[in-house]
Amino acid sequence: MSVPLTISQAKAICLMPVAILFIAILIHNPIIIGEEVLIQNYFNCWRDNPYVLDVHDCTEMAVETEEYWETVRGYDCYWVRGDSKDGNTGHRWNLVKIGNDYHQFESTTLIFNDVSDNYDILWIETGYFVDGKKVNKSIQLDDWKKDFGDI
């Protein structure tokens, strides 16, 4: 004869896979998870200055997050410019070097993910901050495919 589960036991069983996944993510790359939390808090998850097309959109957000990565966190950061796979929309995001690895950072949502899965990369630029210092002009990298490979 089996004893029925209580509601709290059933909830614990349902949440177990989520907890295991969360632990696996933290073990896999805790630095990236920590960096996401820091930048989300820094920009208050864009609540104070939300996305507005042609006013405060991916371009302005990529500039702001590039400045954060370079000056606040001390990471090398680049701008990436791409077009959607169907060619209908353009987009801009960041490429951040943390440790020895480059990570794509979606500035509009403040999370690391493979943005280039949805966009064809047109070019990569230095941005307005290089080695943590403001520069007057962003420079398009000529040989970015050689420098960054298949991101």
pLDDT tens digits for range 20-50: 545 544 555 667 888 988 999 999 988 888 9
d(CA 61, CA 67): 10
Structure confidence at residue 11 as a pLDDT band (50, 70, 90): low
Measure Cα distances from 69 to 1, 64, 132, 140 in Å. Answer: 60, 9, 8, 19
Q: Could you tell me the domains of the chain?
A: 30-148 (3.30.460)
Which of 3-7, 49-53, 71-75, 114-118 shows the lowest mean pLDDT across its residues?
3-7
Higher pLDDT, 135 or 28: 135
The pTM of the full predicted model, rounded to 2 decimals, is 0.76
Q: What is the pLDDT of residues 58-110, one digit of tens each?
A: 999 999 999 999 999 999 999 999 999 888 899 999 999 999 889 999 999 99
- pLDDT band of residue 131 (cuts 50, 70, 90) is confident
- Pairing outcome for strands 111-112 and 101-106: antiparallel
pLDDT at 104: 94
Q: What single-letter amino acid sits at 66?
A: E
Q: Residue 124 pLDDT > 60, yes or no?
A: yes
- Distance from C-alpha of 9 to C-alpha of 1, rounded to nearest angstrom: 18
Quote the pLDDT of residue 122.
92
Q: Are 70 and 129 spatial neighbours (Cβ–Cβ below 8 Å)?
A: yes
Model confidence at 3: pLDDT above 60:
yes
- Give the span between the Cα atoms of 39 and 35, in whole angstroms: 6
Q: What's the pLDDT score for residue 21?
A: 46
Whether residue 13 has pLDDT greater than 80: no
